[in-house]
Amino acid sequence: MRLGIDIGSRKVKFALQSDNNRMKLWDMPTTDLYHQHLHRKPDGTNELDFHSLGLPQVDIVAATGYGRNNVKLSQALVVSEILAHAAGAMRVLQGEFLMLDMGGQDTKVALVRDGQVEDFSVNDKCAAGSGRYLENMAQVLGVPLEELFSYYADPADLTTTCAVYAESEIIGKLAEGVTMPQLCAGVNYSTFLKIRPMLERWPQKELVFVGGGAKNKAMLHYLQQAHYAVVIPEAPEYNGVLGCLEMLDKEEEE
């Protein structure tokens, strides 16, 4: 039995692979993992509490995600999340392609060629193009995230680059009479504009879109409009943790 764990900034994603190759996927808020399911050891590392997670003893644990270095799981093989996401994307596309992962705080792009990450790019020092920004904006606009994701037509022009200041800009636009669908589309389009330069670093147009952000239909629309041939795997938010298990397989083969 093998467990993959992707410790993201917002959620922890689990993938439990049983010996007969059945896969169970679930998630929990990252803070719950820290507070309820870790035992701190004297050497500063942490041990996963399988019992409190309702799991039997697991043979192999592979960890990825932003928190993998902070959590320091003593039982786990640690994998970089960019490589894990790329490995996850290779499940659905071969040859040369771009992998775009939109997570809670990070947006990552990797150029994959023949089963290998050739180059990558990650947003830096600013989370304005990330999932958390979209969540905040949905809250400010008072719409569920899924609804925000559905608007792409006639986007309102949002000029503030900061995710926090954008809130007051949106409130100002509401007062000017800009409609809710236009504002939702504006939020999505401004996010797309932040991601586009990361993609355009390479001429490749085949794209695997993963992470929670891959559920954003408006983003998909803008990507397709920019001539990207987009593939979204099933359960895209679990792509990293599944890729993590794929990397375990590779390691065992080698």
Partner 1 sequence: MSEKTAKERIGITSTIPVEIIYASQCVPVDLNNIFITDKHPQVIVDEAERLGLPRNTCTWVKGMYSVLKHTDIHTVIGVVQGDCTHIVSMLESLLPAGVEFIPFSFPYEKSRKLLRWEMQKIMDYFGVQWDDCLASKARLDEVRKIIHTIDRMTWEDNTVSSQDNFYALINSTDFMGNPEAFKIQLKRILDKKREPYPRSHLRFGLLGVPTVFTDLYPYLESQGARVVYHEVARQFAMPEYAKDLLEQNLSYTYPYSFYGRVKDIQEEAGLRHLDGFIHYVQSFCHHQLEDLGFREQLSLPILTLEGDRVGKLDGRTKTRLDTFVQMLKSKKRRKEDAFRN
- Point out which residues bind partner 1 (CB under 8 A): 66-67, 69-70, 80-83, 106, 116-120, 122, 124-125, 201
Asked if residue 220 lies in contact with residue 209, where contact means CB atoms within 8 angstroms, the answer is yes
Strand 46-48, strand 96-102: pairing: unpaired
DSSP state of 73: B
Minimum distance from residue 168 beta carbon to partner 1 (Å): 19
Minimum distance from residue 87 beta carbon to partner 1 (Å): 11
For partner 1, give the closer residue by CB, 52 or 70.
70
Cβ neighbour number for residue 188 with a 10 Å cutoff: 24
65 — alpha (psi -120 to 50), left (phi > 0) or beta?
left
Asked if residue 133 lies in contact with residue 103, where contact means CB atoms within 8 angstroms, the answer is no
Kindly calculate the radius of gyration of the chain based on its CA atoms and give it in whole angstroms. Answer: 19
For partner 1, give the closer residue by CB, 61 or 230.
61
Minimum distance from residue 147 beta carbon to partner 1 (Å): 30
For partner 1, give the closer residue by CB, 133 or 151.
133
For partner 1, give the closer residue by CB, 66 or 189.
66
Minimum distance from residue 163 beta carbon to partner 1 (Å): 16
Minimum distance from residue 187 beta carbon to partner 1 (Å): 24
Task: Return the structure tokens found at 49.
Answer: 């509490």
Q: Tell me how far apart the alpha carbons of residues 242 and 254 are, in angstroms, rounded to a whole number.
A: 19
Asked if residue 74 lies in contact with residue 65, where contact means CB atoms within 8 angstroms, the answer is no
For partner 1, give the closer residue by CB, 125 or 227.
125
